[in-house]
Amino acid sequence: MAGQDKAALISETRRRFETEYVPDKSDKYDSRDVERLQQDDNWIENYLIWRHDVVDDTLKMIDESFQWRKEYMVNDLSESALPKWLFENGALYLHGYDKEGYKLFWFRVKLHTKDPKLQFEKKKFVAFWLEHYARREHGKPLTVVFDMAETGLSHIDLDFIRFIINCFKVYYPNYLSKIVIFEMPWIMNAAFKIVKGWLGPDAISMLKFANKNEVQEYISAEYLPAYMGGIDTFKYSYPPLVDDDFQTPLCENGPITTEDETESKEEVEADSKEAGESSEEQILNVKKVCSVEQISKPDENDKTDSKTKNAKKALTIFKGPLLHISPAEELFFGSKEIGEKKCLIVLTNVTKNVVAFKVRTTAPDKYRVKPSNSSCEPGTSIDIVVSLHGGFAASLQDRFLIMAAEMDQASGAGVPELAQFWKEVPRNKVMEHRLRCHVVESSKPSTLTLKENSFNIPTKTNEDLHLQLTQLLQVNRRLQEQIDRCVWFQQLIVVLALFLVAIAAFCFFLLYTQRC
């Protein structure tokens, strides 16, 4: 649908809801939801998409969703508002990504027990997680994993499963990527025919049944536990709340094990000097943020400015209240064949105060970030180099989190001061922005990508070869399993054929004896 048509539908939906629903049902809605609907086009667009741009159906859906949000007090749900045992149980949590880069929402069915007295609290717990994710990711779909390993009839709660499905059908539209059901017991086949009916014809294709041999079609081994055939060592625990798995990455000179760990004064001064030099260069270039052409040799640094000016496509910029961040959404890395292993993030301070920032990632062992924890002076910009090291390759599941907060001028910007600042700064004063990774297979990315060879990084390493060998062994194992199944079927067919021949011979014998 054209942008103008979509904007007209959003405007019509907003106007009609305000005139046809709000006057009669204002006491059934949370005023914060009504206010958000007047400002958030993406929210309305998600409802329209889920209802195929039919405004009447969309309005009914918004009405039902808003009444549910007030009943469950969704805007006020927090850790302190829910029983602690729900978090400690570990039946529901967010962790990892599927192969398409969507967040995984785990429901470990064996840890769930059906209890009507606790049902409402458990449903509020689901609403807490979904709202927690929705506020953070702003409409990006997620994948639900029903882990039914080691489950029996006592664990199955169809009412609770129906509630989870309704959350995506009505309350959080367009948030569902797929539902992966792992090792569903055969006894539940009839029950899940009912579940398919709840999903409806539009969402039935999102239901994926998988066993240990098939689940890696949807989720890589990196985010699967060992009992699913994966290599993820993650074990759920609480507290703290399992967030987005962001951790402090490797700095240029080695790993930072804690946020309080201090670097040498020389490193801090070097980072500050580099930040100052990059700021001066950007000011001389009329403060434009442009994409950089690949640098073919280290001694061609003097040509960088001219390449920046002649870039084909300007970067997208996320305009936050404290920092403008470029690129806005994705870091482009090359595949192993291309060999592009470095990207650039440009932060621009748009406030009148010093802004402290730090960078975290979901894959801290893969990446080096320099600087990963520093500050930016008012009106200046700073370049952050993100690089892959060793034999690692970027993947769609990798994420980066940029955190920023204003500092008092008297606070100081040294490492000890920054560590203390991040301990004390209130959560609501911190700006957060997330970037995802994009792997370019054949062509140049239109972003700040720096060529691997210019940094003298070897193209092949032992880790790289080991990773390829591991992948080959996995493929070989799957092929062997398929061969074993084929052999088994062949043997079965031979036995059945012999059995049929024996029956035929017996029949002929009976006919022969009767004639004689």
CATH code: domain of residue 413: 2.60.40.10
CA distances in angstroms from 85 to 75, 88, 90, listed in the order given = 21, 5, 9
Cα 181–chain centre separation: 19
Shared domain for 91 and 222, answered yes or no, is yes
CA gap 245, 90 in Å, rounded: 16
Last residue of a domain, one of 26, 52, 75: 75
Report which of 155, 129, 154, 153 is spatially closest to residue 142, judged by C-alpha positions: 129
Per-residue pLDDT, averaged over 170-183, amounts to: 89
E-only strand ranges, 62-202: 92-97, 103-108, 142-147, 176-182
Last residue of a domain, one of 207, 228, 249: 228
Please check whether residue 492 lies inside any domain of the structure.
no
Shared domain for 93 and 215, answered yes or no, is yes
Question: What is the reported pTM?
Answer: 0.55
Grade residue 512 by pLDDT with cuts at 50, 70 and 90.
confident
Shared domain for 346 and 417, answered yes or no, is yes
Q: Which residue has the higher pLDDT, 258 or 3?
A: 3
**Digit-coded pLDDT (tens) for 296-327:** 333 444 444 433 333 333 468 888 889 999 89
Please check whether residue 250 lies inside any domain of the structure.
no
- Per the prediction, the chain carries an average pLDDT of 77
**Digit-coded pLDDT (tens) for 107-148:** 998 888 888 889 999 999 999 999 988 887 777 889 999 998
Shared domain for 96 and 161, answered yes or no, is yes
Please check whether residue 12 lies inside any domain of the structure.
yes
CA gap 46, 53 in Å, rounded: 10
pLDDT on residue 166: 86
pLDDT on residue 56: 94
Residue located via tokens 């405004």:
55
pLDDT on residue 333: 82
- pLDDT exceeds 80 at position 216: yes
Shared domain for 102 and 224, answered yes or no, is yes
- pLDDT exceeds 60 at position 254: no
The pLDDT > 90 percentage for the chain reads 25
Per-residue pLDDT, averaged over 165-184, amounts to: 88
**Digit-coded pLDDT (tens) for 25-70:** 888 999 999 999 998 888 899 899 888 889 999 999 999 999 999 9
CA distances in angstroms from 415 to 274, 278, 403, 419, 425, listed in the order given = 16, 20, 16, 6, 15
Tokens of 263: 């670097």
Domain that holds residue 362: 318-438
pLDDT on residue 6: 86
- pLDDT exceeds 90 at position 12: yes
Last residue of a domain, one of 32, 53, 75: 75
Shared domain for 53 and 109, answered yes or no, is no
Q: Are 59 and 20 in contact (CB under 8 A)?
A: yes
Per-residue pLDDT, averaged over 149-167, amounts to: 83
Angle at 423 between CA 420 and CA 425, to 5 degrees: 100
Shared domain for 137 and 222, answered yes or no, is yes
Please check whether residue 288 lies inside any domain of the structure.
no
Other beta carbons within 10 Å of 141: 18
CA gap 57, 443 in Å, rounded: 43
Single-letter amino acid, residue 197: G
Shared domain for 26 and 96, answered yes or no, is no
Shared domain for 380 and 324, answered yes or no, is yes
Report which of 293, 258, 227 is spatially closest to residue 418, judged by C-alpha positions: 258
Please check whether residue 197 lies inside any domain of the structure.
yes
Q: Are 160 and 123 in contact (CB under 8 A)?
A: yes
Shared domain for 49 and 149, answered yes or no, is no
**Digit-coded pLDDT (tens) for 73-108:** 999 998 888 999 999 989 999 988 888 888 899 999
Please check whether residue 243 lies inside any domain of the structure.
no
- Domain CATH for 97: 3.40.525.10
pLDDT on residue 97: 86
- pLDDT exceeds 60 at position 288: no
- pLDDT exceeds 70 at position 453: no
Shared domain for 111 and 149, answered yes or no, is yes
Other beta carbons within 10 Å of 249: 24
Q: Are 35 and 86 in contact (CB under 8 A)?
A: no
**Digit-coded pLDDT (tens) for 430-446:** 888 888 888 876 544 44
Please check whether residue 368 lies inside any domain of the structure.
yes
Shared domain for 184 and 97, answered yes or no, is yes
Please check whether residue 279 lies inside any domain of the structure.
no
Q: What is the count of structural domains for the chain?
A: 3
